[in-house]
């Protein structure tokens, strides 16, 4: 038997079965996207703003330092000392001022040496910046990593470069390095605050959305419970009308639906009861006149040899129609018992193979008249707990149906049993059934084609009664058919009445037949 696919485990199962979980997860995912995008944008803008302000401040301070150095160089008498000595002295003084408060580091490259802040590594200055300063005048700035020669940890910074011009000598490159550690620490604090705020918002949104979802779904769940109780037959249950106008209207509508449903079901039950009583009463009441008619028909039939041919034939038809009428009344009474729930089983353990063999022998003359050969394929004993009378009726209906519609072709009957169930199939090779007819074949008084010639009469209730007999045992009766290929009916019964079959010893579709629907 095919096994149904489950909904999975863990989050997949929760997603499929829990609306609050889907709402929270969807909201959380959307919030993560929005908060991440917003956070990255804010961090980017904060970083740009802080670094831009630091750059402006550094450029302004560097411009002031360079301007001061140029003024001092221009005001000094360079005849007493060499330009290199004058520039070196001024560089040391400016570097000392920059160390106050760790404002900046300074480095001036002279032809003799590199003068500036103590312990500053010349590797802090990119070679590309040195080339740019040597080739042109102006201010140059770029981020860098400030390194030290005393083992001090490197730190991020901003370097500003310019030229010191001294008459009678080449320009001196000057580099001012401004640490940006404080700004980086500020950015780290902003980042931590941003992510902490985002996490707090996510948790808050998740809890809020979950509570809102539960508030909205609570009346829906209440309605579901009420609907399930209504379906279980508790038609007197009603929902409490509380809450806001919308929720109160919802509960009122559910209660109105329950009231109307109760009325309709009561009306249908009364109508069904009247119908069942009518069928039963009519069937019983017709018994007496039918008995009288049968007695008269038997008297007339016993003397039909004294009548002319036309009257004798009429007496024969009268007798046959009385038999059909009596059969119809019997089946109507049986249907009324099923409808009233009064049908009961007289159980006994019976060999289904032996029962089927006996019924085949009983309908043998009918099959011979129709030109059909009935072939039984039984694999030994098939013991099952059944009501022998009712199962015999099922088998007889299936056999006569196959003879009627088999068009004189062979009829195959199979009986199989396994650990799960016992099954019987009756297969004919006659006109068959189309898809619509397969869905209607067990309806009361339904016939596939009223225009077909019928050899065995019938009331149109045989298969409907057979289906009810199968259901009364807890079994199944189904059918396969194809136009021009015949039909196959399958009866499946559990080994114990009422337990129902857990498997199918025989397939619904005959072997060797390709059926896309199986």
Any idea of the CA torsion for 310, 312, 318, 320, to the nearest 10 degrees? -110
Distance CA 360, CA 396 (A): 8
Domain 8-231, CATH homologous superfamily name and number: PAS domain (3.30.450.20)
Report the mean per-residue pLDDT for the chain. 81
* All residues at 6 or more sequence positions from 81 whose CB lies less than 8 Å from its CB, including other chains: none
What proportion of the chain, given as a percentage, has pLDDT over 90?
Answer: 12
Euclidean distance between CA atoms 294 and 308, whole angstroms? 21
Half-sphere exposure of 348 (CA within 13 A, CB side): 11
pLDDT (tens digit, 9 = 90+) per residue, 439-449?
Answer: 888 887 776 65
- State residue 464's pLDDT score: 87
Chain-centre distance for alpha carbon 368:
56
Gap between the Cα atoms of 101 and 223, Å rounded: 73
pLDDT at position 424 is: 93
Give the residue among 418, 424, 352, 414 at the shortest CA–CA distance from 388: 352
CATH 3.30.360.10 fits 246-339, yes or no: no
Instruction: Report CA-CA distances (Å) from 52 to 106, 141, 358.
Output: 21, 12, 104
What per-residue confidence (pLDDT) applies to 3? 42
Long-range contacts of 216-219 (CB under 8 A, 24+ apart): 217/19, 217/20, 219/243, 219/247, 219/250, 219/251
Q: Grade residue 314 by pLDDT with cuts at 50, 70 and 90.
A: confident
> Which strands, in side-by-side order, build the sheet including 172-179?
114-116, 105-109, 172-179, 155-164, 140-146
Average confidence (pLDDT) over 255-273: 77
Tens-place pLDDT, residues 455-485: 555 567 888 888 988 988 889 999 999 998 8
The per-residue pLDDT for 320 is: 75
Higher pLDDT among residues 223 and 464, named by residue: 464
Residues near 457 by beta carbon (within 8 Å), at least 6 away in sequence? 320, 324, 327
* Bridge pairing between strands 105-109 and 383-387: unpaired
Fold of 345-494: Heat Shock Protein 90 (3.30.565)
Return the closest-CA partner of residue 258 out of 285, 276, 231.
Answer: 231
Query: 516: pLDDT confidence band, cut at 50, 70 and 90?
Result: very low
- Distance, in Å, from the CA atom of 146 to the CA atom of 178, rounded to the nearest integer, reads 9
Q: What is the mean pLDDT of residues 268-289?
A: 69
> Quick one: which of 235, 335, 329 has its CA closest to 288?
329
pLDDT of residue 2: 40
Gap between the Cα atoms of 370 and 503, Å rounded: 35
**Helix, strand and coil percent figures for the chain, each rounded to 5:** 55, 15, 30
Distance between CA atoms of residues 226 and 238, nearest Å: 7
Q: Which of 71 and 487 is assigned the larger pLDDT?
A: 487
Q: Which of 288-292, 337-341, 366-370, 426-430 has the lowest mean pLDDT?
A: 337-341
**511 vs 145, 402, 480, 488, 514, CA distance in Å?**
84, 18, 12, 11, 8
pLDDT tens-digit readout, 349-361: 999 999 999 999 9
Average pLDDT on 170-197 reads 86
Are 398 and 466 within 8 A, CB to CB? yes
Say whether pLDDT at 21 is over 80: no
Q: What integer is the mean pLDDT of 381-401?
A: 91
- pLDDT of amino acid 349: 92
Do the beta carbons of residue 105 and residue 92 sit within 8 Å?
A: no
- Token duo for residue 379: 């694999």
Digit-coded pLDDT (tens) for 407-434? 889 999 999 998 889 999 999 998 888 8
CA distance 320 to 304: 14
Please report the beta strands in 78-196, taking only residues with DSSP state E, as ranges in sequence order. Answer: 105-109, 114-116, 140-146, 155-164, 172-179
CB atoms within 10 A of CB 52: 10
Q: How far apart are the first and last CA of the chain?
A: 12
Other beta carbons within 10 angstroms of residue 15's beta carbon come to 15
Q: How far apart are CA 161 and CA 180, in angstroms?
A: 16
Rounded CA separation 235/267 (Å): 14
For the chain, which residues make up each domain, given as ranges? 8-231, 246-339, 345-494
Lowest-pLDDT range, 37-51, 149-163, 299-313, 324-338?
A: 324-338
Confidence at 6, pLDDT banded by 50, 70, 90? very low
Measure the CA–CA gap between 120 and 104, rounded to whole angstroms: 11
Read off the pLDDT band of 111 (50, 70, 90).
confident
List, as one string, the DSSP characters of 397-443.
Answer: HHHHHHHHHSTT--EEEEEEE-SSEEEEEEEE-SS---HHHHHHTTS
Whether residue 201 has pLDDT greater than 90 = no
In the chain, the percentage of residues whose pLDDT exceeds 70 is 88
Q: Tell whether the torsion through CA atoms of 349, 354, 356 and 359 is positive or negative.
A: negative
Separation of alpha carbons 276 and 283, rounded Å: 11
Mean pLDDT of the region 72-91: 75
Residue 217 has pLDDT above 80, yes or no: no
Pair 322, 265: CB distance under 8 Å: no
In angstroms, how far is CA 280 from the centroid of its own chain? 48
pLDDT score at 284: 66
The DSSP call for residue 74 is: H
Residue 517 pLDDT greater than 60, yes or no: no
Burial group, residue 258, by CB count within 10 angstroms (0-12, 13-18, 19+): buried
DSSP state of 76: S
pLDDT tens readout for residues 236-259:
777 777 666 666 777 777 778 888
Give the residue-averaged pLDDT of 40-60.
86
- Provide the pLDDT confidence category of residue 82 given band limits of 50, 70 and 90: confident
């Amino acid at each position: 038997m095919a096994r149904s696919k489950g909904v999975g485990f863990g989050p997949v199962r929760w997603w499929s079965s829990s609306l609050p979980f889907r709402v929270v997860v969807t909201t959380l995912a959307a919030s993560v996207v929005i908060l991440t995008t917003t956070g990255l944008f804010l961090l980017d803008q904060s970083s740009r703003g802080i670094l831009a302000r630091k750059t402006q401040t550094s450029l302004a301070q560097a411009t002031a330092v360079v301007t001061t150095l140029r003024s001092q160089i221009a005001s000094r008498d360079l005849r007493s000392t060499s330009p290199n000595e004058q520039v070196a002295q001024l560089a040391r003084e400016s570097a000392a001022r920059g160390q106050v408060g760790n404002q900046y580091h300074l480095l001036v490259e002279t032809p003799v040496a590199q003068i500036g802040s103590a312990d500053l590594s010349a590797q802090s200055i990119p070679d590309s910046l040195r080339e740019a300063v040597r080739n042109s005048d102006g201010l140059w700035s770029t981020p860098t990593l400030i390194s030290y020669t005393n083992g001090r940890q490197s730190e991020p910074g901003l370097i500003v470069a310019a030229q010191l011009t001294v008459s009678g000598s080449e320009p001196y490159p000057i580099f001012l390095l401004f640490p940006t550690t404080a700004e980086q620490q500020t950015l780290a604090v902003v980042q931590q605050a941003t992510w902490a705020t985002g996490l707090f918002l996510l948790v808050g949104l998740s809890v809020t959305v979950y509570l809102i979802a539960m508030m909205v779904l609570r009346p829906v769940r209440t309605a579901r419970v009420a609907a399930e109780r209504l379906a279980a037959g508790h038609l007197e249950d009603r929902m409490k009308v509380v809450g806001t106008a919308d929720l109160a209207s919802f509960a009122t509508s559910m209660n109105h639906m329950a009231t109307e449903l109760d009325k309709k079901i009561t009306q249908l039950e009364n109508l069904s009861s009247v119908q069942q009583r009518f069928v039963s009463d009519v069937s019983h009441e017709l018994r007496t006149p039918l008995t009288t008619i049968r007695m008269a028909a038997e008297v007339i039939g016993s003397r039909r040899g004294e009548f002319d041919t036309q009257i004798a034939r009429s007496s024969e038809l009268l007798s046959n129609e009385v038999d059909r009428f009596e059969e119809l009344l019997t089946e109507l009474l049986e249907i009324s018992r099923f409808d009233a729930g009064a049908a009961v089983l007289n159980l006994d353990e019976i060999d289904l193979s032996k029962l089927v063999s006996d019924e085949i022998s009983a309908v043998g003359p009918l099959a011979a008249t129709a030109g059909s050969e009935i072939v039984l394929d039984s694999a030994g004993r098939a013991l099952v707990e059944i009501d022998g009378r009712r199962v015999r009726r099922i088998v007889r209906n299936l056999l006569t149906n196959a003879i009627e519609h088999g068009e004189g072709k062979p009829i195959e009957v199979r009986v199989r049993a396994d650990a799960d169930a016992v099954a019987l199939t009756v297969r004919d090779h006659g006109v068959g059934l189309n898809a619509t007819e397969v869905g209607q074949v067990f309806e009361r008084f339904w016939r596939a084609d009223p225009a077909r010639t019928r050899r065995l009469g019938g009331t149109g209730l045989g298969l409907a009664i057979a289906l009810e007999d199968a259901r009364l045992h807890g079994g199944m009766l189904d059918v396969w058919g194809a136009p021009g290929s015949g039909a196959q009916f399958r009866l499946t019964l559990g080994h114990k009445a009422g337990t129902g079959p857990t498997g199918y010893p025989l397939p619904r579709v005959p072997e060797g037949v390709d059926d896309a629907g199986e």
